[in-house]
């Protein structure tokens, strides 16, 4: 059956004024993932990534390592992450997430988790999209990547942790709280294997990081 490899972007620049750029470690994570895919002998029929810099650069780094041409990437904003800063501001009354990340890392994540749940419960105002709209666009984007795949074809899709968590929650019928937990536990350059069957998706594996599961690479397992 057609296989979709749904990858979370590599480590970005959490806690800085520009989160949307890969760290040096993030670029290395991407290259290691490309090496792993190459060792599996994978050839991608379809390649898609969101329009965010961290998503695009993750795809480019891993593809370059595999010898793929980066100009084969189809950019799909439907794969982009939720509007995190807007959600945080709506929940806190305008607080800066970056300042909170620097001042109280654990406190930031507690607040952010609560903001996500409030969003899922439709309790936030003045946000760019609803929880349901977020889920619909993510599902549509992944199904678009599956179009034209034949029995043994593989598609590569690079997105973000929250978007992947939202999709997995929908596929498995899990509540919003579980989708949020999927998001917060998803590792950088972790990937899911999804089986595409018509207009349906099935989860074959979740949050895999075989390219980082070596003693000398344990430090490279990151979540932000």
CA–CA dist 200, 100 (Å, integer): 40
CA–CA dist 68, 64 (Å, integer): 6
Q: Give the percent of the chain with pLDDT over 70.
A: 100
199 DSSP assignment: T
pLDDT one-digit tens code per residue, 33-88: 999 999 999 999 999 999 999 999 999 999 999 998 777 999 999 999 999 999 99
- Taking Cα atoms as reference points, which of 1, 2, 4, 8 lies closest to residue 208? 8
CA–CA dist 7, 162 (Å, integer): 12
| pLDDT given at position 55 | 98
Structure tokens given for 135: 């889920």
- Sequence-distant (6+) residues with CB within 8 A of 146 are 2, 4, 46, 155, 196, 201
State yes or no: pLDDT of 193 exceeds 90: yes
| pLDDT given at position 157 | 98
Structure tokens given for 12: 């970005």
Element (H or E) spanning 123, and its range? Answer: none
| pLDDT given at position 70 | 75
Residues β-bridged to residue 196: 201
| pLDDT given at position 96 | 84
CA–CA dist 65, 41 (Å, integer): 13
Pair 175, 1: CB distance under 8 Å:
no
- Residue with the bigger pLDDT between 197 and 37: it is 37
Residue 28: CB atoms within 10 A of its CB come to 17
Count of all residues that appear for the chain in the document: 224
The residue written with tokens 């350059």 in the block is 189
Structure tokens given for 53: 């810099």
Alpha helices in the chain (DSSP H): 24-39, 53-66, 84-92, 97-103, 105-120, 131-146, 161-172, 176-185
HSE at residue 201, side-chain half, CA atoms within 13 A, is: 27
pTM (whole model) above 0.85: yes
Crossing angle between the packed helical segments 24-39 and 53-66, to the nearest 10 degrees: 40
Taking the alpha carbons at both ends of the chain, their separation in whole angstroms is 32
| pLDDT given at position 38 | 97
pLDDT one-digit tens code per residue, 82-122: 999 999 999 999 988 888 888 898 899 999 999 999 999 99
């Amino acid at each position: 059956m057609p296989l979709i490899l749904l990858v979370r972007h590599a480590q970005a620049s959490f806690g800085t004024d520009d989160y949307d750029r890969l760290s040096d470690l993030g670029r290395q994570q991407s290259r290691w993932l490309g090496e792993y895919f190459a060792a599996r002998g994978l050839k991608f029929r379809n390649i898609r990534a969101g329009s965010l810099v961290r998503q695009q650069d993750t795809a480019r780094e891993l593809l370059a390592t595999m010898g793929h041409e980066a100009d084969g990437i189809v950019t799909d904003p439907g794969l982009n992450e939720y509007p995190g800063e807007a959600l945080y501001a709506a929940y806190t009354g305008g607080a800066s997430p970056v300042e909170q990340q620097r001042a109280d890392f654990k406190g930031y994540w507690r607040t952010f988790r609560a903001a996500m749940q409030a969003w899922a419960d439709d309790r936030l105002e003045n946000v760019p999209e609803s929880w349901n709209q977020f889920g619909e666009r993510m599902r549509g984007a992944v199904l678009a990547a599956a179009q034209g795949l034949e029995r043994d074809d593989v598609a590569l899709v690079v997105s973000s942790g929250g978007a992947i968590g939202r999709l997995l929650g929908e596929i498995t019928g899990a509540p919003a709280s579980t989708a949020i937990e999927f998001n917060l536990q998803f590792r950088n350059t972790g990937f899911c294997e999804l089986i595409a069957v018509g207009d349906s998706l099935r989860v074959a594996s979740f949050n895999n990081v075989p390219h980082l599961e070596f003693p000398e690479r344990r430090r490279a397992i990151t979540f932000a």
